């Protein structure tokens, strides 16, 4: 396999507050290759957006800080970059698609100005920039592109605005696009169109993508690999098949069980009881222990090690330790007898 485009290794990000330091990301590692889509999923506050902001160099400093770890992009160590150097990469080599197109676009500037300002700053001639903008609008499926360039964001529908935001992210031909909940603000039919658009653009341009989402339906459509985050850590990572059909981590399974299944009308929704831990003082052991029906004594005391289930399927859970199987059988028996909720 070719060298990864992006290598994140043991990344830690913390935010200083009056109440202490919030350890938002606690040792995240992953790689991403050209043309690949990695989806990062998890509950709100699990650290998925902070991880992507760290890659993009957008952690507000202070109060935020990358306290340890490395982010290598095209063989360059981004954590050592000054903000001036980082600005040359932002929007050019790595670009970002935000959740709400209305806040991502400037309401006082025309679509044409917003689309072309990045490439004009990048020393592209105006005529060439305009032509590129027209090509981009065509690529993202906007009808009458010449007319659209003269319009303002409020003159377009929500779906159109999100297409414009995608065009803005792609116009400098980046190697990596980070999409943070790109379809959350859209209704389901537009959502489906935007996901199809991502798929088509990726096939046509070969851009790599990190998709941040809490929506497993989105993940099922776009991801090649999935990283499941909990309390600032990746607890399971694998191919789409590994996560949807062969998940091993109790949190991943709980997450899958908490999704509405239209194909199983009688299946009751199983919410995940409890709440994530306080990241001011994260637990010394497994952060999911308080909510996990399989928790053992060791889980409270020691961080679970990373176990490789097969090839690229990695799980951080003590259940992967061979000695745990007898304990699991006992818990499953109790569950079947209705003793555990």
Q: Tokens at residue 43, please?
A: 């509950």
CB-nearer residue toward ligand SF4: 116 or 252: 252
Strands of the 6-17 sheet, one edge to the other: 20-32, 6-17, 64-73, 76-77
CA dist 146 → 64, 131, 142, 149, 171 (Å): 42, 10, 10, 6, 16
Residue of 234, 243, 286, 314 interacting with ligand SF4 (CB under 6 A): 286
List the beta bridge partners of residue 14.
23, 65
**Closest CB to ligand SF4 among 59 and 292?**
292
Asked if 47 and 39 count as a contact pair (C-beta separation under 8 A), the reply is no
The enclosing H or E element of 167 equals helix 158-170
Site for ligand SF4 contains 318 (CB under 6 A): yes
Nearer to ligand SF4, 276 or 304 (CB): 304
N- to C-terminal Cα separation, the chain:
45
The CA distance from 233 to 283, in Å, is 12
Distance between CA atoms of residues 236 and 279, nearest Å: 19
Site string for ligand SF4, 238-277 (x = CB under 6 A): -----------xx---------------------------
Buried b (16+ CB within 10 A) or exposed e, 202-229: beeeebbbbbbbbbbebbebbbbbbbbb
- Binding status of residue 97 toward ligand SF4 by CB under 6 A: no
Least distance to ligand SF4, CB of residue 335, Å: 14
Enclosing H/E stretch for 250: helix 250-257
What's the closest the beta carbon of residue 98 comes to ligand SF4, in angstroms?
A: 32
Nearest distance from residue 292's CB to ligand SF4, in Å? 3
Only one of the segments 203-211, 276-284, 311-319, 330-338 lies at the binding site for ligand SF4 (rule: CB under 6 A); that segment is 311-319
Binding flags for ligand SF4, 42-71, as an x/- string (CB under 6 A): ------------------------------
323 CB contacts (<8 Å, ≥6 apart)?
none
Nearer Cβ to ligand SF4 (106/273) = 273
Are 133 and 141 within 8 A, CB to CB? no
Q: Does 237 bind ligand SF4 (CB under 6 A)?
A: no
| Segment lying near ligand SF4 (by CB under 6 A), choices 60-68, 191-199, 221-229, 291-299 | 291-299
Among 53, 294, 313, 314, binds ligand SF4 (CB under 6 A): 294
Cα–Cα separations (whole angstroms), residue 101 to 49, 145, 162, 277: 17, 18, 5, 32
CA–CA separation, 153 vs 160, rounded Å?
Answer: 9
Q: Measured from the CB atom, is 175 or 316 closer to ligand SF4?
A: 316
What is the Cα 16 distance to its own chain's centre? 23
295 contacts ligand SF4 (rule: CB under 6 A): yes
Binding mask 205-224 for ligand SF4 (x = CB under 6 A): --------------------
Binding mask 115-144 for ligand SF4 (x = CB under 6 A): ------------------------------
Nearer to ligand SF4, 11 or 289 (CB): 289
228 binds ligand SF4 (CB under 6 A): no
- Give the interface with ligand SF4 as residue ranges (CB under 6 A): 249-250, 286, 288-289, 292, 294-296, 299, 304, 317-319
């Amino acid at each position: 396999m070719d060298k990864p485009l992006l290598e994140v290794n043991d990344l830690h990000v913390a935010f200083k507050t009056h109440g202490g330091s919030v350890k938002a990301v606690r040792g995240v590692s992953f790689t991403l290759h050209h043309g690949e889509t990695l989806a990062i999923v998890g509950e709100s506050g699990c650290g998925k957006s902070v991880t992507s902001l760290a890659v993009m160099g957008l952690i507000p400093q202070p109060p935020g800080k990358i306290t340890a770890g490395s982010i290598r992009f095209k063989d360059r160590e981004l954590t050592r970059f000054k903000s001036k150097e980082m600005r040359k990469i932002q929007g050019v080599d790595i670009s970002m698609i935000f959740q709400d197109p209305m806040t991502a676009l400037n309401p006082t500037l025309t679509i044409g100005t917003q689309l072309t300002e990045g490439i004009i700053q990048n020393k592209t001639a105006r005529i060439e920039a305009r032509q590129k903008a027209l090509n981009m609008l065509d690529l993202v499926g906007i009808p009458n592109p010449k007319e659209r360039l003269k319009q303002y964001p409020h003159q377009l529908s929500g779906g159109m605005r999100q297409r414009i935001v995608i065009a803005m992210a792609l116009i400098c031909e980046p190697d990596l696009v980070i999409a943070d909940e790109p379809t959350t603000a859209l209704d389901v039919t537009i959502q489906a169109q935007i996901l199809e658009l991502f798929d088509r653009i990726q096939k046509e341009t070969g851009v790599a993508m990190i998709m941040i989402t809490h929506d497993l339906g989105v993940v099922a459509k776009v991801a090649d690999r999935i990283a499941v985050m909990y309390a600032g850590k990746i607890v399971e990572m694998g191919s789409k098949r590994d996560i949807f059909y062969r998940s091993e981590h109790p949190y991943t399974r709980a997450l899958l069980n908490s999704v509405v299944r239209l194909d199983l009308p009688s299946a009751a929704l199983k919410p995940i009881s409890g709440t994530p831990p306080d990241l001011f003082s994260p637990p010394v052991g497994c952060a999911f222990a308080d909510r996990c029906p399989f928790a053992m004594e060791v889980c409270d005391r020691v961080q679970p090690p990373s176990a490789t289930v097969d090839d690229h399927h990695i799980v951080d859970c003590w259940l992967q330790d061979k000695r745990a199987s007898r304990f699991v059988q006992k818990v499953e028996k109790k569950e079947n007898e209705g003793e555990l909720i």
